[in-house]
Amino acid sequence: MSEQRKSMLTGNIVKHAIKDSFIKLNPMVMMKNPVMFIVELGTFVVFLMVLFPSYFNISGRLGFNLCVFLILLFTVLFANFAEALAEGRGKAQADSLKKSKKETTANKLVGTEIKVVSSTELRKGDIVMVSQGEMIPGDGEVVEGLASVDESAITGESAPVIKEAGGDFSSVTGGTRVVSDQIKMVITSDPGESFIDRMISLVEGAQRQKTPNEIALNTLLTTLTLIFLIVVVTLAPIAKYLGVELDIPVLISLLVCLIPTTIGGLLSAIGIAGMDRVTQFNVLAMSGKAVEASGDINTMILDKTGTITFGNRMASQFIPVGNETLADTSYWAAVSSLKDETPEGRSVLELMKKQSLGYETSIAEGGEFIEFKAETRMSGIDLQDGRLVRKGAVDAVRQWVLGKGGTVPANLEIESNKIASEGGTPLAVAVDNRIFGLIHLKDTVKPGMKERFEQLRQMGIKTIMCTGDNPLTAATIAREAGVDDFIAESKPEDKIAVIRREQAEGKLVAMTGDGTNDAPALAQADVGLAMNSGTIAAKEAANMVDLDSDPSKIIEVVAIGKQLLMTRGALTTFSIANDVAKYFAIIPAMFMVAIPEMNVLNIMSLGSPLSAILSALIFNAVIIPLLIPLAMKGVKYKPMSSARLLSRNLLIYGLGGVIAPFIGIKLIDLIVHIWI
């Protein structure tokens, strides 16, 4: 993990951040941060006074003005560097994901030959061959053959569907995968018109909300900056009326020290810290704002397939029929799955092991494995002793047994209907002309999900599951997973609608998903957490990617988000408290020569007016890098009431913010006064 975290802060990123810190001096860029924009304007004014001292009639203060300029420039550049570093890290993380993107190729039929081309070169009317394990390169219609197609990334349905030429099931969608057999298809859409292209347009049309804390802090910083700007601007004529001449560099120094430059310069650093901390949990955050927003989440929208559930149908129960026993049913189910490398086949053997049921692997030696075919809808093994073992769709196995002169147990249909009514898939198991029982396949909920959702509930977060399954299956999965609510047979538009409805009520919404059909909702949500096992479209639409594909990881992300908010609140309190001490350093220095009575406010006994101003300005600049460790480590998150949290922050960071500058400015003054 330490190597992974280190890789996120490479020398190349730092190099570009240093370069960007100068590029960001562009006033059009700086205007986005009102606090640092004011500091930059002050830096520019002092710079002009350094270049043209005779024009401003301040030749005697050249050294002082140069020091003020360099200190202000350092303050602005460091704030820009922190922001550029945050952007560079986010870009690096996004680029690392895009490196895994592989362009889909297509086996285009040209005359009698097959030519491998990029899917982007396909046009309406092109004929393409797609075999087992290959991605369907574009939207189209099957014109020859039939195949089992996994459409879970598009529809949310976990079970593969049969696609064949003619009829109602000939349409195929780009981005889905053929899991068995081979089809010939004709492309029905040009680039830019496919289902995935429509998803992308929905993603691009989605807009993220600003978090309430972000709006509140921006308002606070802007208001304080305007207030102190008005105070400093009006201070000069008032002082002149009283016979006190205040130089422009002195006024600019006062303004920079009084406005909340500390928190303004540390905002990006706090964002980096949030991204670093989620990285510890194998989550890549594309921005600090995404982590911050997670601290205020009210509603959690979760896709079912591949997110709450494994996404593959897994064996959950063996059900004997007729006069057969559980031992015999499970035994032949295992034999039929010994050479079946599909997730369903492996899950049968795992269930046998879990239930401590016995079977012999030697019986399959020398046997011929029969792969699943869309035509037969069965798989199995032909044993060396002549016995034929099959498992597959109930009606297909029934016809196979009847064709061999066997009989069908009376309760076969009853038991298979019961499995179907619970949202599962029944597979019949037969040997020659004898049906032994059923395997109950279901899209299994990932372990620990119920407990994790209970934790979310205790944090005040409502969970809603969205799935393309029918209401009965959806209700079963929702009950097993322990979510608060569910939406069945949902389309991409339905997921966006429920997110917008929650957002319209003033709530912040998080969305987890893994399919292309989840991409628009991931883009619309305030926090979009995509599973790494998901599609490219989902990962590009989200602002977080979970490398472990664990949707319950959102609990750690929420905790880190709350810690991020606490850290920013603590540093904001510290920054504002700093102004009190800096006030007692600069104000007496500005007036005590002309008004000796003001010296009573010089409670720090600073050496001279110039050393006092420079000391306060230096402290204001160096406190930003000194607070970086706290910003990176973060304030420890402890669940407590808002009132208690406010009292704690005021005591630690408010009082600390008042005391620290008195000590720091005094120590700096001891050195600066000697130099001056």
Report whether 376 belongs to an annotated binding site. Answer: yes
Report whether 404 belongs to an annotated binding site. Answer: no
Q: Which residues is 616 bridged to in the sheet?
A: none
Report whether 373 belongs to an annotated binding site. Answer: yes
Report whether 375 belongs to an annotated binding site. Answer: yes
Q: Which of 20, 150, 303, 443 is catalytic?
A: 303
Which of 42, 31, 573, 556 has the alpha carbon at shortest distance from 266? 573
Write a three-state SS string for 346-371. Answer: HHHHHHHHHCCCCCCCHHHCCCEEEC
Report whether 36 belongs to an annotated binding site. Answer: no
Task: Name 182's Cβ contacts closer than 8 Å, sequence gap at least 6.
Answer: 129, 130, 131, 132, 145, 147
Label the pairing between strands 127-130 and 140-144.
unpaired
- State the alpha helices, DSSP H only, in 280-322: 288-294
Q: Quick one: tokens of 550?
A: 């664990």
**Any long-range contacts for 367-375 (C-beta under 8 Å, 24+ apart)?**
367/339, 369/339, 369/340, 371/180, 372/148, 372/180, 372/340, 372/342, 373/180, 373/181, 374/146, 374/147, 374/148, 374/162, 374/164, 374/180, 374/181, 375/146, 375/181
Report whether 305 belongs to an annotated binding site. Answer: no
Report whether 281 belongs to an annotated binding site. Answer: no
Q: Specify whether 276 is catalytic.
A: no
b vs e for 416-444, b when ≥16 Cβ sit within 10 Å of the residue's Cβ? beebeeebbbbbbbbbeebbbbbbbbbbb
Under a CB-based contact definition with an 8 Å cutoff, are residues 620 and 78 in contact?
no
Report whether 662 belongs to an annotated binding site. Answer: no
Report whether 491 belongs to an annotated binding site. Answer: no
CB atoms inside a 10 Å sphere around CB 669:
26
Q: Quick one: tokens of 355?
A: 């239930």
Q: How far from 591 is each of 247, 416, 588, 616, CA to CA, in Å?
A: 12, 92, 5, 16
b vs e for 335-345, b when ≥16 Cβ sit within 10 Å of the residue's Cβ? bbbbbbebebb
**Any long-range contacts for 358-364 (C-beta under 8 Å, 24+ apart)?**
358/327, 358/331, 359/330, 359/331, 359/334, 359/335, 360/335, 363/335, 364/335, 364/338, 364/339
Region of residue 126 (left: phi > 0; alpha: psi -120 to 50; beta: else): beta
Report whether 6 belongs to an annotated binding site. Answer: no
Task: Name 524's Cβ contacts closer than 8 Å, sequence gap at least 6.
Answer: 206, 207, 208, 496, 499, 500, 511
Report whether 579 belongs to an annotated binding site. Answer: no
Binding site per annotation, positions for Mg(2+):
514, 518
**Bind-site residues for ATP:** 340, 344, 372-379, 391
Catalytic site residues?
303
User: Annotated binding site: which residue ranges?
Assistant: 340, 344, 372-379, 391, 514, 518
